Structure 1
Amino acid sequence: MRFFRRKKKTSNGNNLAGYIFISPWLIGFLLLTVWPIAQSFYLSFTEYSLLESPKWVGFENYHNIFLKDNLFRKSLAVTFTFVIISVPLKLLFSLMVAMLLNQKLRGMNLYRTAIYFPSLIGGSVAVSVLWRNMFGADGYVNQVLQWFGIQGVGWLHTPETALGSLILLNTWQFGSAMVIFLAGLKQIPQDLYESASVDGAGKIRNFFHITLPMLSPVMFFNLILGIIGSFQMFTQAFIITKGGPVNSTYMYALFLFEQAFKHYKMGYASALAWILLFIVAVLTAINFIGSRYWVYYESDDGREGK
């Protein structure tokens, strides 16, 4: 009995020491994450302009957003178009580059570093300014086209091409997804390819029957990150096009930002933020439910065998 009492006392002491060690992170998490989230949820039901105290209005913000705000529907349509096109393109391009960099060639580490390097600056303001200069009416892209006798257009000033320029920029920022794909390719057992070659399988068949199934968890991970990141795309649209022309690049995050810091409608912006959270959560849940039909895990075989 005395042994159990000592053990319990020691366990409590260890728990107390553990809580003390994690208390800085825990306090920061509660104050800088949980509390702002709770405040945002409360403010979404208020009329708040930063200069006056919040005024409770119930579901009025959500009512106005869904039934009266045309800019909400426009920004949502633009964002969904951006996500539907850019995410698959980014996945496809990053997978292709990862497969090229997975080859056993001399100096491959140097190539990998050089290709990944642009991703270190990612979606920064500097990259956005560079992109704006490249695709401007007198930009580098049109200058190169003139060498071949092709008359360029105002890529960022034409509704038909402005969103495509942002999609191209998002696809170009493929470094992180490429590194994850490359790590996944390294984990595929070479025995599978050797066995398939004995059976006469070619590269195309190996790709669709070995590489893609074995990479499906990595692809699913990149898909979820791509969807979440694309819905939050703000810097590029703000710096390069400011939502124009004719709201053709008016992203949801840009719309939210303007409501909060241009029109000082903090309660309205908080409601927009929670709507965005709900949309991303629903799409993530749908992908998780659908993943059981196309994502392959090696442990699945063991469960089925049981």
Structure 2
Amino acid sequence: MIERLSTSLKRNKHSYLLLAPYLLMFVLFTVVPVLMSMSLSFTYFNLLEFPRWVGWHNYERLFLEDEVFIIALKNTFIFAVITGPISYVACFVFAWMINEMSPKVRSVMTLLFYAPSISGNIYFMWQLMFSGDAYGYINGFLMKNGFIYEPILWLTTEKYIMPVIILVQLWLSLGVSFLAFIAGLQNIDKTLYEAGAIDGVRNRWQEMWFITLPAMRPMLMFGAVMQITSSFAMADVATQMAGFPSVNYAAHTIVTHLMDYGSIRFEMGYASSIATVLFVLMLTINLAVQKLLRNIGD
């Protein structure tokens, strides 16, 4: 085993040398912090005192005593289950449709679809639309057409907060995954479609299932990782639209709970336990989705 590893290192030494800077940065800024966070999750640490070992106490407190965390966990799953699959499918469908257009139109449409995910003032527009007075665009339209007779407090009424935030998140979700799908569709070998026609592929749906999707597995897996990460790590939309904290924690997520204990209360041991739970959730779901995607086209 050691001899085989040594032989591989010698044979591919130039490749490993090129990878070394990235691996070093990845270990220092990803692996080490994750391991440190997991270790701190078993301690009481407030940044002023040296960490004190408390074992499983933080996790017991998290699941058995912290009612707000349970609300955050439920909200996070609702956001992830709705926004994750819908945005993932939407990214692929829009990428596929835009890929069929001429190069100039494709470039313009790609920019138009991607722009919202990088716009800095996008929340201001949505806050205007869902403003809780008669000057809000949604309220103004509904009142003008007789659907309602007084303004709806969209962002301060518990039953409306979740749908509004889900809508905004879906609109912002055409980001990196969308670009990855566009790139993947552009790089599919066109001779595969000719070979498929010879082998019996007769329509566009069969082309997509037996040729397009299998050829895009790396991009599909990358997109799945990005969409799962963004849906489970959602915090900016919730805090910008509904405030922090939101009314009755209606928009509270695991990440906002983590921000509360890590950035405001400075209970770093407890915050680390929240981060560890989120990490395990995201890793488990990512592995499950990647296993599912490996079966596409088989």
Q: TM-score range by the shorter chain?
A: 0.7 to 0.9
Instruction: Give the C-alpha shift of residue 237 in structure 1.
Output: 1.4
How far apart are 1:200 and its partner, in Å? 9.2
1:178 is matched with 178
Between structure 1 and structure 2, the one with the greater Rg is 1
Identity value in percent? 28
Displacement of 1:160 after TM fit?
2.7
Q: Distance in 2 between matches of 1:50 and 1:222?
A: 37
Matched, 1:112 2:115: no
Q: 2:69·2:254 contact (CA, 8 Å) conserved in 1? A: yes
Aligned to 1:252: 254
Residue 26 of structure 1: CA displacement? 7.0
Deviations 1:117-158 (A, max 9, x none): 22233xx5x333432332221322333444544336333223
Aligned pairs for 1:109-148 within 5 A: 109-121=107-119, 126-138=121-133, 139-148=136-145
**Preserved CA contact (<8 Å) 1:228 1:280:** yes
Structure 2 length as normaliser, TM-score?
0.78
- Return closer, same or farther for 1:95/1:286 CA change in 2, 3 Å cut-off: closer
Question: Cα deviations across residues 161-219 of structure 1 (Å, max 9, x unaligned)?
Answer: 31222222221121322222222222163662796599794545555555455545533
How many angstroms apart in 2 are the aligned matches of 1:197 and 1:57?
66
Aligned counterpart in structure 2 of residue 262 of structure 1, from 241, 244, 264: 264
Q: 1:197 to 1:96 in 2, by over 3 A?
A: farther
* Mapped partners of 1:215, 1:271: distance in 2: 36
Contact 2:217–2:293 (Cα < 8 Å) also in 1: no
Residue equivalent to 1:7: none
Please list every run of 5 or more consecutive structure 1 residues that lacks an aligned counterpart in the other structure: 1-10, 301-306
Q: Find the counterpart in structure 1 of residue 223 from structure 2.
A: 222
Distance 2:27 2:69 in 1: 31
Taking only aligned residues, the RMSD between alpha carbons, in angstroms, comes to: 3.4
CA distance in 2, matches of 1:201, 1:161: 46
Distance 1:189 1:28, change over 3 A: closer
Count of matched residue positions in the alignment of Structure 1 and Structure 2? 279
Deviant stretches of 4+, over 6 Å: 21-27, 197-200
Equivalence for 2:63: 66
- TM-score scaled to structure 1, two decimals? 0.76
Equivalent residues in 2 for 1:4-23, closer than 5 Å: none
User: Which of 267, 273, 276 is equivalent to 1:274?
Assistant: 276
State the 1:269 CA deviation.
0.4
Query: Which consecutive unaligned segments of at least 5 residues does structure 2 have?
Result: 1-9
Q: 1:89 aligns with which of 76, 86, 101?
A: 86
| Per-residue Cα deviation, 1:45-88 (whole angstroms, up to 9, x for no partner) | 11122232322212111111122211221111110110000011
Q: Which residue of 2 aligns with 1:161?
A: 160
- Matched-pair contact (CA < 8 Å) for 1:237–1:243: no
Q: Look up the equivalent residue of 1:83 and give its one-letter code.
A: A
Checking the alignment, whether the CA contact within 8 Å between 2:131 and 2:155 is kept in structure 1 is yes
CA contact (8 A) 2:192 2:211 kept: no
Partner of 2:5: none
